Copies of this chain bind each other. A is one copy, B any other.
Amino acid sequence: MRRFISHKTINLISQTTTSSISSSSPSPNSPSLSPNSPLTSLLRFFSTLHPSSPDSMASDYSATPITMDNINPKVLKCEYAVRGEIVSIAQTLQQNLKDNPGSHPFDEILYCNIGNPQSLAQQPITFFREVLALCDHPSILDKSETQGLFSADAIERAFQILEQIPGRATGAYSHSQGIKGLRDTIASGMKARDGFPADPNDLFLTDGASPAVHMMMQLLIRSENDGILCPIPQYPLYSASIALHGGTLVPYYLDEQTGWGLEISELEHQLKTAKSKGIDVRALVVINPGNPTGQVLGEANQREIVEFCKKEGLVLLADEVYQENVYVPDKKFHSFKKISRSMGYGETDISLVSFQSVSKGFYGECGKRGGYMEVTGFSPEVREQIYKLASVNLCSNISGQILASLIMSPPKHGFIQVGDESYESFSAEKEAILSSLARRAKTLEDALNSLEGVTCNRAEGAMYLFPCINLPDKAIKAAEEAKTAPDAFYAKHLLNATGIVVVPGSGFRQVPGTWHFRCTILPQEEKIPAIVSRLTEFHKKFMDEFRG
């Protein structure tokens, strides 16, 4: 009988640092990450900073069958910078601060790396949470105390929703596409938004938008010869999902000079290049409003994009999760469904998938994992295959489904009849969040543009700024010596000096030779001035040090 070997606690996160590098070794034809890519260098750099802990080194796993050499190489190839190495370092610093206050020149870590509003103290929308709580515990709906605790329209809405759920069973698996009554509500909301009908049978409710993206990639990608056109810079879910499903990311570059413009000539050029390499390009990903770039597409541009997809026989995968996040008066969100229908393209003319999420907008309910995709322009036979994929996982979580219906049918103003009781407070909460986000975006944009060598496009929408940093040669050389990408080198210095966490542009890809970082606009408004001054002070020192 062997002796029981007690399991050493392993700090998984701090070790994420080491693995992806020594072992990542992507295959030579890897389209997503070459051994010399900035990301690989970045990872290599961090690996030198965080050696494995002695504890884990002491454990000998040689008797276990699964090693880095025999796992699925597609998993190795996949990267996700938003939760990558720099965040691990930040978490270590945060622990340091907790264990040893005063050990760093700042007293808190400011997470500007991820669009996670409620983690930075944004409060949930009251009406939405009231309805969710009542649906979770319907037996209090008839109690008198409930009237004192919940708004009347939240109680009414909970009753309505329960009526839409077969057997009022919020604890049952639903239809694999989501509860039909909730899909009806969402479809009505989409019709009100677009002026064109939406069919509830076209909606697939999912645990956030990510599983919907995976489902489409799974459907479309057969081999590495299948390509997906993705914007660069891009949200790394796309590169990760394409890598996991074994396809090829075909990049198209957004034009930073024209406010991250999406040029059709660039799409045509990249499509032609990919085709010449034998790649069968199957779909075009468009993120509008943009992530990480924050631009909002103009209507004319959207029409060109639809026309391009129609002409080239591409599925249009429209990431529209930031549709409520538009901060400038000269821009407006238009769904690609509305654009294509207004061009006269109907169901059988164009294949269009639109992704939406409860995680963004003014609600920012990331933890609820609600979302959906609207699938149009696929034959019934192909759609049944999508349905089958959905059914293998049974259904998405019901609270997320309810929330998805709520964001598309919030409390209503009473124009003719009496409005919903919560309308005023709901509107006030919504307005306060969105106007504050707009102010924060502008303040940070201005601050970034005032820095030496930094240019930053407007955050017209979404939750991010993506400034370009023109780094001095000396900094680039120092980064090279540290075997890291220059923007990762900058981000690391920024973190160590200020506690501000941003994601290096290399995590999103960028025009080679340019350097960026992504910074969310989400820290509480009262913290923005301190962030600006910390950032400004750091940047000046950094430039002074490396100006040469």
Contact = CB atoms under 8 A, between A and B. Distances in A.
Q: How many copies does the complex hold?
A: 2
Given A23-B381, A124-B171, 18 more contacts: A7-B202, A9-B201, A10-B199, A16-B387, A52-B380, A66-B382, A68-B381, A74-B218, A78-B388, A114-B173, A119-B167, A149-B149, A170-B367, A210-B392, A210-B394, A367-B395, A367-B397, A368-B398
A116 B167 CA distance: 12
A348 B388 CA distance: 38
A368 B172 CA distance: 8
Nearest to A340: B4
14 contacts: A5-B347, A12-B384, A16-B387, A61-B379, A61-B380, A65-B315, A71-B222, A72-B222, A78-B388, A78-B389, A171-B367, A173-B359, A173-B367, A207-B396
Interface residues of A, number: 139
A380 B72 contact: no
Interface in A202-258: 202, 207-208, 210-211, 214, 218-222, 237, 240-241, 244-245
A75 B218 contact: yes
A323 interface: no
B172 A388 contact: no
A71 B219 contact: yes
A80 B392 contact: yes
Interface string A40-69: 000000000000100010011101111110
A241 B119 CA distance: 34
B344 A119 contact: no
A137 B145 contact: no
A154 to B, nearest CB: 9
Interface in A343-395: 343-351, 359, 364-369, 376-385, 387-389, 391-395
Contacts of A67: 379, 381-382
B5 A348 contact: yes
Contacts of A277: none
A244 B246 CA distance: 12
Interface stretch (A125-133, A264-272, A445-453): A125-133
A61 B394 CA distance: 28
Contacts of A172: 116-119, 366-367
Given A172-B119, A367-B174, A201 B12 contact: yes
Interface string A137-178: 101100101101110000000000000001101111110110
Nearest to A397: B369
A13 B145 CA distance: 42
B218 A244 contact: yes
A11 interface: yes
B201 A348 contact: no
A395 B132 CA distance: 20
Nearest to A400: B397
A298 interface: no
A371 to B, nearest CB: 11
A75 B217 CA distance: 11
A73 B219 CA distance: 9
A484 interface: no
Contact of A348 (B23, B61, B399): B61
A119 B56 contact: no
B313 A5 contact: no
A282 B306 CA distance: 45
B197 A7 contact: yes
Interface string A438-450: 0000000000000
B314 A173 contact: no
A76 interface: yes
B116 A367 contact: no
Contact of A366 (B78, B150, B376, B394): B394
A173 B366 contact: yes
A334 interface: no
- Give 3 closest A-B pairs by Cβ, nearest first: A5-B346, A133-B137, A119-B172
A481 B137 CA distance: 52
A174 B237 CA distance: 17
Contacts of A345: 2, 4
B392 A347 contact: no
